[in-house]
Amino acid sequence: MVTNAALRTQNRIARWLTEVFQPPVVVTLVLLISPAVQPGFPGTLGYGALAALFVCVLPLILLLLLVRLGKVTDHHVSNRKQRAPVLLMALASVAAGLVVLAAIDAPRSVVVMVLAIVAGIVVLAAVSPFWKISGHAAAISSSAIIAVLMLGPAWLPLVLLVPAVGWSRVVLRAHTLAQVVAGSLFGGLVMAGLWWLLRGWLL
């Protein structure tokens, strides 16, 4: 029998995993390391930071503003019906970021990473009105797999974060197991696979 204390501890750990490894955080980290596969790193780190500004930071600031105004329930966008507009807002920011990155001749590896993220946002925006696929699971799985592909097998332990974050979303009843599994497969196979294909064509 699970005690109340054990349940509280479980929920506390789940909330910690959900907050620390939420999509804006993990996507920012993978964008920061995206120039690593081309010459000039870490001098090119600023390009990854600029991409993160448009892909993660600005959309998150706008989202928090919408939460404060009462237009969105919370920063995880728990209400499925609110997800598509929020994701489209993020997509507009990402598109602006791509224009800026192209204008300053950013490393192709950064642009490739942003394009893979765009694909993820588009699919999540299309699916969200009908089914609440896990954005946390998609973000952590794609980021972990891409990091391993970029940096080598020494980074394989990052993959352990995928079931951990997925578990946290189920424990907090933010998603069903099916939604977490679907998000993990989408991020790890589709988004990471698209990144790999684009990397082969453009780099």
Calpha distance 200→203 (Å, rounded)? 6
| Pair of tokens at residue 181 | 């599994």
pLDDT at 202: 67
Calpha distance 142→198 (Å, rounded)? 14
Q: For residue range 2-51, what is the model confidence (pLDDT) as tens digits?
A: 677 888 899 999 999 999 999 999 999 999 999 988 888 888 999 999 99
pLDDT at 203: 60
**pTM given for the model:** 0.90
Calpha distance 8→1 (Å, rounded)? 14
